[in-house]
Amino acid sequence: MTVKIIKCNREDLQLLREISIETFNDTFRNQNSPENMKAYLERAFNSKQLEKELTNISSGFYFIYFNDEIAGYLKVNINDAQSEKMGDESLEIERIYIRNKFQRKGFGKYLINTAVEIAEEQNKENIWLGVWEKNENAICFYKKIGFVQTGAHSFYMGNEEQFDVIMTKTLI
């Protein structure tokens, strides 16, 4: 069994798009209307938007492979790419998604450890993320690996305002 982390580049755009749409759909379609899902997917994962994010030097996308198959992906942001003004000492995990059949096998934890390594290499003091208040599985996972709630913010899923819990893990 081989687990590998590979940083994505411009050539990975279409693959990244496919994995992003698949995992977002699988995670949220049962709790959201088809209209709001469609609006979000079109806005967040259109090729132009993803290309902009992929080529932003303050963001990084990483695929996690199990043998030759992609098991999931991670997106991290620093500096101005962070979706809240958390400052230069913070690193944001904006997206962490494991494909259904690979969940609960340690891949999510592996990606969190990758984010911790990236943050430590850059002397960051903490890692933070926003998680939908209704995403109980993810909240349990984050608590299990040492994140604590430090705030909240709202965002739009289509035309519906929803609330994210902000969770932080201190590194020093």
Task: Give the binding site for ligand COA (CB under 6 A).
Answer: 27, 96-98, 103-109, 131, 135, 137-138, 140-141, 144
Closest CB 106 distance from ligand COA, rounded Å = 5
DSSP string covering the chain, please?
--EEEEE--GGGHHHHHHHHHHHHHHHHGGGS-HHHHHHHHHHHSSHHHHHHHHT-TTEEEEEEEETTEEEEEEEEEEGGGSSS---TTEEEEEEEEE-GGGTTTTHHHHHHHHHHHHHHHTT-SEEEEEEETT-HHHHHHHHHTT-EEEEEEEEEETTEEEEEEEEEEE--
CB 39 to ligand COA: min, Å:
18
We find the least distance from the C-beta atom of residue 128 to ligand COA, in angstroms, to be 12
Would you call 142 a catalytic residue per the annotation? yes
Nearer Cβ to ligand COA, position 10 or 154? 154
Residue nearest to ligand COA (CB): 108
Catalytic residues: 142
